[in-house]
Amino acid sequence: MVTAITEGIKVSVQVTYQADYSSPHQHHFVFVYKILIENNSSNTVQLLSRRWEIFDAGESKKVVEGDGVVGQQPVIESGKSHQYVSGCNLRSGFGKMKGSYYMERIQDGKIIEVVIPEFQLIADIFDN
């Protein structure tokens, strides 16, 4: 698990290779990642959007941007957390992801760029 903290917002990521849904011979590797966002600041925040940079070995960088996460724009009160699960497909068995959440502090409307720490996507193709 990797973690980053920005202005009291802690983002932790845990990634798992999904061998049962992958086809290495067809250059299709599936990864699932679980994100835990903990609001350790004194402010209530709302996650408005996200920006991902996805690096696939041998491929060019891909940027994915959009509103919220998995169809939600959660409000996270001070001392509370939000967790979700999502996934990524790669053409190679090795890559990495990193990114940012853009959150609004409800009290004053300030937009905060919260770091999503870089994490590795490595297929466990030799364990099966």
Q: Where are the domains of the chain?
A: 2-122
For residue range 63-86, list pLDDT tens digits in order: 999 999 999 999 999 999 999 999
Tell me, what's the pLDDT at 2?
Answer: 98
Residue with tokens 């001392």: 79
Predicted confidence (pLDDT) at residue 128 exceeds the cutoff of 50: no
* Range in 17-21, 46-50, 54-58 the model is least confident about: 54-58
Spell out a b/e string for 92-102, using b for 16 or more CB atoms within 10 Å of the CB, else e.
ebebbbbbbbb
Average pLDDT over residues 15-31: 96
3-state SS, residue 42: coil
Residue 49 contacts residue 66 (beta carbons within 8 Å): yes
103: nearest Cα among 10, 3, 1? 10
Whether this prediction's pTM lies above 0.85 is answered by yes
**The CATH number, out of the four listed (3.30.110.60, 2.40.30.40, 2.60.40.1470, 2.60.40.10), of the domain defined by the range 2-122:** 2.60.40.1470
